[in-house]
């Protein structure tokens, strides 16, 4: 936009350049949201896959679950 003589998006309001800018900004925002959602889903899936396997392996090895609270000894 600056090369076209506009200092900001607001200065280009109502022009073809502003319309094209808005269209590409929406596309970029949608892609950004899609990629973030995919990364979050992948991270959650990886977490659930690894947590369960690690917990089962600990229990097979005779190690008590980590969320068991041991009463204090006096």
Position 74 scores a pLDDT of 59
Residue (of 67, 71, 45, 22) closest to 53 by Cα position: 45
Cα–Cα distances in angstroms (integers) from residue 54 to residues 65, 66, 69, in the given order: 10, 11, 19
> Tokens standing for 37?
């959602």
Position 55 scores a pLDDT of 75
**Full-model pTM:** 0.57
Q: Tell me: the pLDDT tens digits for 46-74?
A: 887 777 777 778 788 887 766 655 555 65
Please say if the pLDDT value at position 29 is more than 90.
yes
Average pLDDT, the chain: 83
| Residue 27: its H or E element | helix 16-60
Contact 59, 65 (CB under 8 A): yes
């Amino acid at each position: 936009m600056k090369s076209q003589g506009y200092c900001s998006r607001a200065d280009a309001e109502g022009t073809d350049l502003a319309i094209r800018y808005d269209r590409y900004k929406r596309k970029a925002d949608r892609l950004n949201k899609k990629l973030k959602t995919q990364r979050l889903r992948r991270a959650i899936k990886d977490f659930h896959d690894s947590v369960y396997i690690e917990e089962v392996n600990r229990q097979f090895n005779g190690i008590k679950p980590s969320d068991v609270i041991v009463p204090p000894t006096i």
